[in-house]
Structure 1
Amino acid sequence: MPNLMLKFVNLDQQQPEKRNAVERKHDFNEIYRRFSEEQARIQASRCSQCGIPFCTTKCPLSNYIPDWLKLTAENRLAEAYALSTATNSFPEICGRICPQDRLCEGSCVIEADYKSVTIGAVEAFITDHAFDQNWVTPIMPLEELSQSVGIIGAGPCGLAAAVVLRKKGYQVHVYDRYDRAGGLMAYGIPTFKLEKNIVTRRQEWLEKSNVIFHFNTSVSDKTAEHSIAFEDLRNKHDAVLISTGVYKKKEVSLFGSNLNGIVQALDYLIDSQTQNNDKNEMNAKGKRVVVIGGGDTAMDCLRTAIRQGATSVQCLYRRDRANMPGSMREVKNAEEEGVEFIWQAAPDAFVGEEKVEAIRALRTELGLPDAGGRQKIRIIPNSHFTLQADMVIKALGFDPEPLTTLWDNDQLDTNESGTIKLNHHSRMTSLPGVFAGGDIVRGASLVVWAVKDGQDVAEKIAHWLEQQNNKQNVSAA
């Protein structure tokens, strides 16, 4: 077969077609169209097949990126799908929402002179094509095992763990407080980045694989319609995985914080995907909206407000563009859709009688880096200015919920930040047979890191269960 690779020297980078901003800001459909088979093959052929694949080393999952790009270029798509899913439980999701510009594509060796291979778009195409061709079949383990694992949380970590554990034959039960799987993929990330049928498709696949979901089920929350005590969960299963994510919203205590019209980002995003009433208090239609924050959640809020018909949408961020934690691709998309970014500015107070009418802000400047390498922020004295606002969305990040209190178990050790302490070799918590992974361990992070944690901790759970089974067999003998 002739060499189909290294075509970057005569083939330009092609991103998937992006819908016109004027059109896309009026609906919640995904803004990128999918690659055709020919487009995916051509773009995959641009891979340089370098000796040290920095795209792989930068990927949290260490995906075999050059290998499945080569298989795609050679039209060996069934093999490309098999290799893609060997390291990633949900490549079609990561291909859509990973910040590739900060990960694989940002590390591509041809980026500087020729622009990177469009890795994310090809990754999403491979599995979408596999679903279209009915190559994605339910998990059929070689042996069904009697031991069961209870997973608390149906987000990316819990779902990825369920995939690995079912492949090994364990009985898997997933408990979640909401009515569907996905966690923030279903409730937090807007559909213009990830259409919900993509997540639902994976839930249905897991259900056909005999993963048992218990929705609308809260752990030790007696106010919920369905609840289960944490200790009952431990007694019911041979092992338990805590993958709850982090849902406690970070706050900023400023004068006027209790005014009506000031809302939290996650509340706003969940409401936008569950409520259709444009007169709802959290709907941005006809309002001047200001979002405080600079991460991907802030970008989601800004772009959602545009689609709801806000009269103006501004982002207030205390650092500059180069120091934003969010994806630069998302910033560009937001600007195209009409968002105004106000850099190096921090809120000082909220103004209004009963309802917010404005934000008083201060200019900032960046100083020397701190111990973590991030530049410190200094408020510039007497630099006040005012932004008019009918609605303020605080997108300041998330902290862990106080699980020891909620679950009435003070033997579950946590860090000062509230994240769960682990033995990082075994991935086990301070409670025997109880494991943890995802944001509840590492703090708020990317979906791809949650998937990695889920896959890794599932391997540790399986190893521990095998040891327990061996001990029981020895005792019985």
Structure 2
Amino acid sequence: MAKQRMLKFVSTAKEMPAKRDAKQRAQDFNEIYAEYAEQKAAEQAGRCSQCGVPYCHQHCPLHNNIPDWLRLTAEGRLEEAYHISQATNTFPEICGRICPQDRLCEGNCVIEQSGHGTVTIGSVEKYITDTAFENGWVPSITPKVEREESIGIIGAGPGGLAAADVLRRAGCKVTVYDRHDRAGGLLTYGIPGFKLEKDIVMRRVTQLEEAGVEFVLNCNVGTDITFDAIRGKHDAVLIATGVYKTRDLRDPGADAAGIVRAIDYLTCSNKLSFGDEVAEFEDGTLNAAGKNVVVIGGGDTAMDCVRTAIRQGATSVKCLYRRDRANMPGSQREVQNAEEEGAEFVWLAAPKGFTGNPVTSITIQKMKLGQPDASGRQSPEPIEGGIYEEKADLVIKALGFEPEDLQDQWDTKELEVTRWGTVKAEFGTHATNIPGVYAVGDIVRGASLVVWAIRDGREAGAEIIRYLDGVTAVAAQ
């Protein structure tokens, strides 16, 4: 009789990969979770109940075939598991590390709902692809047949890279333009190494380069090259710029030195991890060492800033959020990690003003939750008299991101945008109002998750191929 390898959730408890001691991991920027051993990965994958209606699959933006690759992992068929995983996800090892699984696949796991503890989907997903790379199971994406068409992609973040992968596999010539000196977008410069070590990202960039994708870096569209010039060079164009404009503070003293943007702070820290010299770190502007740090915001970017400041040797690190813990947008797993490492969360608190230039303190307004707003969330309201001062030598604004004004920067008044400034693109096809121009990711959705950008990029890549086939068919008549 064949050994039962699945449905072990009753007899086998949930077990995450070992997590490094908080004091130890707070001293470096290495990933905090160890890798599963093969036996442990198979054991944890075997807890899957193989549901008839897999909610993990339904709640994954990529609709990954999660039960299938969990079963293959439990059976020791790891190479097959990798190919099933890669079939729906361009970067499974990245999603396994940084997706908020507690809000997506794992948060909707049926055995989690029944009180047995979710299957550790993200950790198994990471293990599968890391193992595939180690064993040489990841084939080149160099196409067997080349096409004549050329595609220009503006933005080398997850959406742009996912589209480049799809298009290059199909034989298209692909050129990716990006303002930074390295490809990867927020994967490279926005997410700290303790969540996503940079060699993981560069490995995928190298895979694309070896397949023939050209990267034009340190290239600002609108300054170094015009949008019209890019359109003139390529048969189709994909806009995948992301959103980088920081929402600002309007409180008195908010323009003081020592109050910095989260994206600048995280980019500086990540550049250091590559061995770069960063003047703003050397002069102390973006260095938390020996400072009382206050991070304002409650999303994953705020968590990244909090945990980076701890590793830089801050004297104290506090995170202000105007709602309570239950209503914060960031991952609860990240909050727990930050608390373990020594961060203090100040719930129901908002900035009211800043003292000093450079900043020396922040005036904090205590809040309470009132009636729900249009989104259904309770609106924060100030508590009368609930004001106090907190020392702050470095204040990091992690209030979210908004789109830059592409119409103005690129001199493209014809490109339709929404009232929020995001590019208007057709649902499903990702086509803009300009023929042959597509848009994906945060520049369409607003600030969102990496996994949604990957989905958009994959869909747009396939749609661009259909568009090119249509153009080719018409031209041949």
TM range (shorter): over 0.9
CA distance in 1, matches of 2:62, 2:191: 21
Q: What's the CA shift for 1:424?
A: 2.1
What is the 5 A alignment of 1:236-385? 236-275=233-272, 277=281, 279-352=283-356, 354-385=357-388
Establish whether residue 458 from structure 1 lines up as the match of residue 448 from structure 2. no
Percentage of matched positions with identical amino acids = 57
What is the 5 A alignment of 1:56-205? 56-112=57-113, 113-205=115-207
Structure 1, 422-431 or 210-219: larger mean CA deviation: 422-431
2:303 aligned partner, one-letter code: M
Determine if contact 2:247/2:399 at 8 Å carries over to the other structure.
yes
Structure 1, 205-214 or 329-338: larger mean CA deviation: 205-214
Query: What are the Cα deviations for residues 94-143 of structure 1, in whole angstroms up to 9, with x where unaligned?
Result: 00000101111111111141100100000001000000011112113242
What residue number does 1:224 align with? none
Query: What are the Cα deviations for residues 16-54 of structure 1, in whole angstroms up to 9, with x where unaligned?
Result: 110000100011111111111111111100000011100
Q: What's the CA shift for 1:279?
A: 4.7
Q: What's the CA shift for 1:215?
A: 1.1
CA distance in 2, matches of 1:369, 1:57: 28
| Structure 1 SS opposite 2:153 | strand
CA distance in 2, matches of 1:36, 1:172: 38
Query: What are the Cα deviations for residues 277-318 of structure 1, in whole angstroms up to 9, with x where unaligned?
Result: 555221000000000000000000000000000000000100
Determine if contact 2:142/2:212 at 8 Å carries over to the other structure.
no
Q: What's the CA shift for 1:427?
A: 1.7
1:170 aligned partner, one-letter code: C
Query: What are the Cα deviations for residues 244-272 of structure 1, in whole angstroms up to 9, with x where unaligned?
Result: 00001110111001111110100111111
Establish whether residue 417 from structure 1 lines up as the match of residue 414 from structure 2. no
1:125 aligned partner, one-letter code: Y
1:336 aligned partner, one-letter code: E
What residue number does 1:444 align with? 447
CA distance in 1, matches of 2:156, 2:435: 22
CA distance in 2, matches of 1:38, 1:160: 32
Structure 1, unaligned runs of 5 or more: 222-226
What residue number does 2:20 align with? 19
1:99 aligned partner, one-letter code: P
What is the 5 A alignment of 1:29-48? 29-48=30-49
2:316 aligned partner, one-letter code: S
Establish whether residue 469 from structure 1 lines up as the match of residue 466 from structure 2. no
| Structure 1 SS opposite 2:369 | strand
Determine if contact 1:278/1:285 at 8 Å carries over to the other structure.
no
Structure 1, 29-38 or 362-371: larger mean CA deviation: 362-371
CA distance in 1, matches of 2:183, 2:91: 13
TM-score by length of 1: 0.97
| Structure 1 SS opposite 2:366 | strand
Structure 1, 40-49 or 108-117: larger mean CA deviation: 108-117
Establish whether residue 213 from structure 1 lines up as the match of residue 210 from structure 2. no
CA distance in 2, matches of 1:426, 1:114: 40
1:171 aligned partner, one-letter code: K
1:290 aligned partner, one-letter code: V
Aligned residues: 468
Determine if contact 1:296/1:330 at 8 Å carries over to the other structure.
yes
Determine if contact 2:429/2:459 at 8 Å carries over to the other structure.
no
What residue number does 1:396 align with? 399
CA distance in 1, matches of 2:385, 2:179: 47
2:9 aligned partner, one-letter code: F
CA distance in 2, matches of 1:403, 1:360: 36
Structure 1, 106-115 or 431-440: larger mean CA deviation: 106-115
Task: Give the alignment's Cα RMSD to 1 decimal.
Answer: 1.0
CA distance in 1, matches of 2:440, 2:236: 14
What residue number does 2:229 align with? 232
CA distance in 2, matches of 1:445, 1:385: 33
CA distance in 2, matches of 1:413, 1:376: 32
Establish whether residue 3 from structure 1 lines up as the match of residue 7 from structure 2. no
Structure 1, 139-148 or 292-301: larger mean CA deviation: 139-148
| Structure 2 SS opposite 1:356 | coil
CA distance in 2, matches of 1:323, 1:168: 44
Q: What's the CA shift for 1:216?
A: 1.1
Structure 1, 276-285 or 187-196: larger mean CA deviation: 276-285
2:334 aligned partner, one-letter code: E
| Structure 2 SS opposite 1:35 | coil
2:137 aligned partner, one-letter code: W
Q: What's the CA shift for 1:179?
A: 1.3
| Structure 2 SS opposite 1:174 | strand
CA distance in 1, matches of 2:169, 2:419: 36
1:380 aligned partner, one-letter code: I
Q: What's the CA shift for 1:423?
A: 2.3
